[in-house]
Amino acid sequence: MYVLIFGRNQANGTLRHITHQNGRLIISGPGYYYIYAQAFFQNYTSGDFFHNRVALTINGEEVSWMQTALGEGFTDFGSRFTSVIQFLDDGDYIGLKTVFPSALWVTGRHTHFGAHRI
């Protein structure tokens, strides 16, 4: 298993078939992977909208979003989780990117992503 904390790296256990570079996980062994991400959002009230949205990406393409609730009476605070199962080839890479301006807690317990080969 490998976990990448937004902006920092932390290996857990044995690292196989995955390396990291520039905030991305890079696949070095083709196969099916369980890919997951969690983001912890802080209240974000700047601008004309109240969006906190982060995308899980594969090769820069958005495959799943994490977003806090929008609208009157809803909170814009807390953690969201997403995951996908995807076949990945050598050189494919996994990352996170903000879709709208977002306020994130970027500690290991709050915002992270990773992958398991299955």
| Region 66-82 average pLDDT | 70
User: Hey, how many other C-beta atoms are within 10 angstroms of the C-beta on 31?
Assistant: 11
Contact yes or no for 18/89 (Cβ under 8 A): no
* Predicted pLDDT of residue 94: 93
- CA 27 from centroid of its chain's CA atoms: 16
Q: b or e along 81-102 (b: 16 or more beta carbons within 10 Å of the residue's beta carbon)?
A: ebbeeeebeeebbbbbeeeeeb
Type of residue numbered 38: Q
Confidence band, pLDDT 50/70/90 cuts, at residue 2: very low
Which amino acid appears at position 66 of this protein? Answer: M
- What does pTM read for this prediction? 0.75
68 lies in which domain range?
Answer: 2-117
pLDDT digits (tens, 9 = 90+) for 10-27: 445 455 667 777 778 899
Could you give the number of structural domains in the chain?
1
CATH code of the domain covering residue 36: 2.60.120.40
